[in-house]
C-alpha cells in the first residue's frame, strides 16, 4: 500500500484527536496486520467503494474505547454498552469520512459503520485483504488504525487546474 | 426556540445537544434518520433550526433536506457531516441546506454555527 494512500487516514486520525478529543497523539511504525490470539478488542469497520475500494478499521482495546468515547461526550463509562458501540462506530465514521475528502479526484462512498468484538483477521469477509496496521499511543490509551485501500481508477490530476487558477 | 438534531449516532446527538445546551437551548428534538426528521418537521411547526447528518440509514440527510424543502419548510438547516468534498457542499446548498459543518469539529466550530442561527437571547 502506497504511503500517499495511507497518509490521508493518518491525517484524519490526528484531526479527530485535535478537534474532538483534545488529546495529543503519537504514531508508531506501521506494519502489516498479523494473526493474533489476544484479548478481543472493539473494532469499528467501514467499507469504501467507488473509484477506490478499501476498508478502514479502528481497533480499540476496551479501556481505550471507554476513554475515547467518554472524552467525546464528557462522560465516564465503566463498561461496554450501546453508547460505546455507537461511539466507536462514529469515531471510525469520522476518520473514514475525513480521509476520503483528502483523496483528490476520487469519488468514494462509505458504508455505514459496523462495530464488532474480536480480531480483525478472524473476520471472514476480510481474510483476503492485506491490512496496514498503524499503531498509535495517546493519553486515552493505545489503539490501531487498520487500512486496506486500492484505487480502482487513476484520478485526473488537479495540478493543471491549480496552475490555471494561480496564473490569473 | 426548538432545535431538531438529526444523526443516527446517539453519541453524536449527545455531543450536539451538549453544545446546544451550552448556548442555553434546551428545547431539543432528536431524530435518528432522515425520515424521522421529515416526519418531525411535518408535524411540528415550531422547529427553528435543524442540524442534519448526511449518511444515515432509512433516509439520508440530503434526501431529508430535499423532502423538507419540497414540503415548503424554510427552517434553516445546517449539515453536520463527515462529507467534506466541495461537490458535496455544493449539492447540499443546492438542495436547500443553509450552512455546513464538517466533522470532526471542535466546540468553537459548532458554537459559531449555532450563534449564526440562534437569536442573541439564547447566547
Compute the nearest-CA separation of A69 from chain B (Å): 8
Compute the nearest-CA separation of B49 from chain A (Å): 22
Q: Looking at the complex, does the CB of residue A165 fall below 8 Å from at least one CB of chain B?
A: no
Strand A41-50 to A108-110 pairing: antiparallel
Residues from chain A that touch B103, judged by Cβ atoms under 8 A, are: 20, 94, 97-98
Q: What is the DSSP string of B43-85?
A: H-TTEEEEEE-SS-SSS-HHHHHHHHHHTT----EEEEES---
pLDDT exceeds cutoff 70 at A7: yes
Q: Which three cell numbers stand for residue A163?
A: 496552475
Closest partner residue to A90 (CB to CB) among B12, B57, B106 is: B12
Q: Which three cell numbers stand for residue A98?
A: 475525513
* Distance (Å, whole) CA B4 – CA B29: 5
Is the ipTM, as predicted for this complex, more than 0.85? yes
Give the sign of the dihedral formed by CA A56, CA A48, CA B6, CA A83: negative
Question: pTM of the prediction?
Answer: 0.86
Closest partner residue to A90 (CB to CB) among B9, B84, B106 is: B9
pLDDT one-digit tens code per residue, A27-76: 999 988 776 666 778 999 999 999 988 999 999 999 999 999 999 999 99
Locus of grid cell 487498520: A146
pLDDT one-digit tens code per residue, B23-63: 889 999 999 999 999 999 999 999 999 999 999 999 999 99
Closest partner residue to A72 (CB to CB) among B15, B84, B102 is: B15
Q: Which three cell numbers stand for residue B12?
A: 453524536
Q: Which three cell numbers stand for residue B61?
A: 440527510
pLDDT one-digit tens code per residue, A145-168: 999 888 875 555 555 444 433 333
* Distance (Å, whole) CA B69 – CA B36: 15
pLDDT, average across residues B85-99? 95
Report CB contact under 8 Å: B84, A98: yes
Q: For residue B54, which of B43, B45, B65, B46 has the smallest C-alpha distance?
A: B65
Pick from A49-63, A106-120, A124-138: least confident: A124-138
Instruction: Give the single-character DSSP code of A145.
Output: E
* Distance (Å, whole) CA B103 – CA A153: 27
Amino acid at each position: 500500500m502506497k504511503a500517499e494512500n495511507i497518509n490521508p487516514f493518518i491525517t484524519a486520525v490526528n484531526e479527530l484527536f485535535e478537534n474532538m478529543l483534545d488529546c495529543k497523539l503519537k504514531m508508531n511504525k506501521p506494519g502489516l496486520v498479523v494473526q493474533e490470539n489476544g484479548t478481543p478488542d472493539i473494532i469499528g469497520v467501514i467499507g469504501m467503494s467507488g473509484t477506490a475500494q478499501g476498508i478502514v478499521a479502528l481497533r480499540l482495546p476496551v479501556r481505550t474505547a471507554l476513554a475515547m468515547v467518554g472524552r467525546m461526550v464528557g462522560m465516564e463509562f465503566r463498561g461496554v454498552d450501546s453508547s460505546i458501540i455507537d461511539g466507536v462506530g462514529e469515531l471510525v465514521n469520522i476518520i473514514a469520512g475525513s480521509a476520503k475528502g483528502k483523496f483528490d479526484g476520487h469519488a468514494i462512498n462509505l458504508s455505514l459503520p459496523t462495530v464488532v468484538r474480536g480480531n480483525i483477521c478472524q473476520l471472514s469477509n476480510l481474510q483476503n485483504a492485506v491490512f496496514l496496521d498503524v499503531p498509535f499511543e495517546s493519553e486515552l490509551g493505545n489503539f490501531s488504525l487498520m487500512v486496506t485501500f486500492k484505487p480502482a481508477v487513476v484520478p485526473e490530476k488537479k495540478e493543471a487546474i491549480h496552475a490555471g487558477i494561480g496564473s490569473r | 426556540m426548538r432545535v431538531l438534531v438529526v444523526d443516527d449516532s446517539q453519541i453524536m446527538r449527545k455531543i450536539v445537544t451538549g453544545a446546544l445546551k451550552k448556548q442555553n437551548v434546551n428545547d431539543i428534538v432528536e431524530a435518528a434518520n432522515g425520515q424521522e426528521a421529515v416526519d418531525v418537521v411535518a408535524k411540528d411547526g415550531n422547529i427553528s433550526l435543524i442540524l442534519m447528518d448526511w449518511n444515515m440509514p432509512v433516509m439520508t440527510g440530503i434526501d431529508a433536506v430535499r423532502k423538507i424543502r419540497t414540503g415548503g419548510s424554510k427552517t434553516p438547516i445546517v449539515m453536520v457531516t463527515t462529507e467534506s468534498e466541495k461537490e458535496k457542499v455544493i449539492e447540499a446548498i443546492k438542495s436547500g441546506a443553509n450552512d455546513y459543518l464538517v466533522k470532526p469539529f471542535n466546540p468553537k466550530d459548532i458554537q459559531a454555527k449555532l450563534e449564526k442561527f440562534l437569536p442573541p437571547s439564547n447566547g
